[in-house]
Amino acid sequence: MPKRYRDIAGDGGSNIAGQVSEQHARMRARLAEVRAVVAVVSGKGGVGKSSLTANLAACWALEGRRVGVLDADLNGPTMATMLGVRGRRLVLGAEGVAPPEGALGVRVMSMDLLLPSDDAPLVWEAPTQAESHTWRGAMEANALREFLTDTAWGALDVLLLDLPPGTDRLITVASLLPVLSGTIVVTIPSDVAHLVVRKSITIAAQANAPVLGLVENMTGLFPGPSGADLARDAGIPFLGSVPFDPALTASTDLGEPLVAAAPGCEASRALFAIAATVGAALTSGGAPARRARPA
């Protein structure tokens, strides 16, 4: 096991540079079995990134694809709940930590599976909590790197990353990954959301991975600006609109994504169509895996 930096006093013969390159090699080896890595992003919170991630994962699992989901939202993790693996124990095997599989076979890794209780927040170890914010960015990046590297994902057709809100988060994640196949940007029909989502699209376009497109979620909830117009103005594909449907909340809260619980409803049909468009882009090579940074 490589040391963590808190174990290292001085360099003490630890060969930090060697450990870092070993970790990069392990991540590359781990992700070599993953055919596509897709990040779901939005600068805005509460727009449905996690709901979309869970439902896309379910759509592809129902088609027989091998799907993994990494909950990259360390402070507000929801993937374990939405995919029905909350409270499952993590099992450490020779290959790493086995990600629990939900009913549909989606493999999930989330900070939620590591925190000791329902109301325990994620608190970083630092001499004082006041100091912890100085290290938070680095520690979060490190935790995500460990999640990616130490999880025994196995062979996957697609690994979905559910990102936290914040326009800059994608930069951190993209810089960790040897490859990123594409990003999906989520908005809701509101001016405030569009304001922030525009910035996310700019960042996604710079991430050295194709922007697979924009999804408008909660369509019909309020009479806001059109997601299709936003996508056209930004020059990215518009993937579709998912109507506001309280059944979507109810089903994901119960750990069964709507597309599995009620495949025939309008919102599910919209989600299946989005999954088909993105899935086709990924398999046709329309969105080739690209290096997010030099090897």
Ligand X SMILES: Nc1ncnc2c1ncn2[C@@H]1O[C@H](COP(=O)(O)OP(=O)(O)O)[C@@H](O)[C@H]1O
Closest approach of ligand X to the CB of residue 44, in Å:
7
48 versus 178: smaller Cβ distance to ligand X: 48
Minimum CB–partner distance for residue 98 and ligand X (Å): 25
- Spatial CA neighbour of 98 closest among 159, 153, 30, 28: 153
Least Å from the CB of residue 253 to ligand X? 7
Q: In the chain, what are the helix, strand and coil shares in percent, each to the nearest 5?
A: 40, 20, 40
Piece of the chain touching ligand X by CB under 6 A; list 60-68, 86-94, 246-254, 278-286: 246-254
Compute the chain's Rg from CA coordinates: 19
- Number of chain residues interacting with ligand X (CB under 6 A): 19
Print the binding letters for residues 179-208 with ligand X: x by CB under 6 A, - otherwise: ------------------------------
Q: Are 41 and 24 in contact (CB under 8 A)?
A: no
Question: What residues between 38 and 67 interact with Mg ion by CB under 5 A?
Answer: 49-50
261 binding ligand X? (CB under 6 A): no
CA distances, 193 to each of 61, 91, 227 (Å)? 30, 39, 10
Helix axes 169-176, 191-206, angle to 10 degrees: 30
Residue 118 CA to residue 102 CA, distance in Å, equals 19
From candidates 27, 38, 39, 47, binder to ligand X by CB under 6 A: 47
Among 36, 67, 78, 182, binds ligand X (CB under 6 A): 78
d(CA 244, CA 267): 8
3-state SS class at 245: coil
The entry of Mg ion, ligand X, none that residue 47 binds, CB within 5 to 8 Å by partner kind: ligand X
Point out which span in 21-29, 64-72, 145-153, 247-255 binds ligand X (CB under 6 A).
247-255
Q: Are 76 and 173 in contact (CB under 8 A)?
A: no
Of 150 and 266, CB closest to ligand X = 266
Residue 72 near ligand X by CB under 6 A = no
**What is the distance between the alpha carbons of residues 30 and 95, in angstroms, rounded to a whole number?**
10
State the minimum distance, in angstroms, from the CB of residue 10 to ligand X: 42
- Which residues of this protein are in contact with Mg ion, per CB under 5 A? 49-50
- Which residues of this protein are in contact with ligand X, per CB under 6 A? 42, 45-51, 78, 217-218, 242, 244-246, 248-249, 252, 267
